[in-house]
Structure 1
């Protein structure tokens, strides 16, 4: 089976990509990939996404230093999501400076509580762009 033929691309030519810590199983983030990002991720063995806001490739960690080294890439049964099992270099995956982008917990009333602390100041990672 050829990978690109098994992917169900959305209307924008993108597929959802979940990054998961390869040791702990913790879900770190969700981003998007186009065909080029997927190809380069496999070729370079590091997470490369497609930034919808910039309309360009985004090599995770190119500004922050928080690179994701690819350990394994899997495709779900529908082909509409890829799972990247990664080694998170630099300690944080989220642009807010937290380990994971999933740092807010919803209670039964629909209220959110922040559960994870900031590990790195975003200004230190990105300057004033964060």
Structure 2
């Protein structure tokens, strides 16, 4: 069956959450938003493309930083309201220069940073 991006369940702003996962390690790297055109562009080019809510523009991951995400796999969740992009990540995924955006754990009521910025 051919995939049709219009069959996804986008929110009222026309966006769907996209979770990026490292293809090699399985680590969750980040969460960002896609619209229908970003989904299409990602699938057509193999370069993961998000929708920047703050800039109201496409954001091709790594276009300015060089920390690109090459698409390995594109999956839909059971409700079709979230996507998982499995990627080959070059450099850090997070704008804080960490490998993952999920570097803070809450344990026993306290926040703990689990990883330092990459050098």
For the aligned pair, the TM-score class normalised by the smaller chain equals over 0.9
Separation in structure 1 between the aligned mates of residue 14 and residue 27 of structure 2, nearest angstrom: 27
Give the 5 Å matches for 1:19-98. 19-89=20-90, 91-98=91-98
Question: Under a length normalisation based on structure 2, what TM-score does the superposition of the two structures give?
Answer: 0.95
Contact 2:20 2:85 in 1 (8 A): yes
Secondary structure at the aligned position of 2:85 is classed as strand
* TM-fit CA distance, 1:23: 1.2
Aligned residues: 118
Separation in structure 2 between the aligned mates of residue 35 and residue 4 of structure 1, nearest angstrom: 6
| Runs (5+) with no aligned partner, structure 1 | 121-130
Secondary structure at the aligned position of 2:95 is classed as coil
| Runs (5+) with no aligned partner, structure 2 | none
Between Structure 1 and Structure 2, which shows a larger proportion of helix residues? 1
- What is the match of residue 115 of structure 1? 114
Q: Residue deviations 1:50-77, cap 9 Å, x none?
A: 0000001000001110000000100000
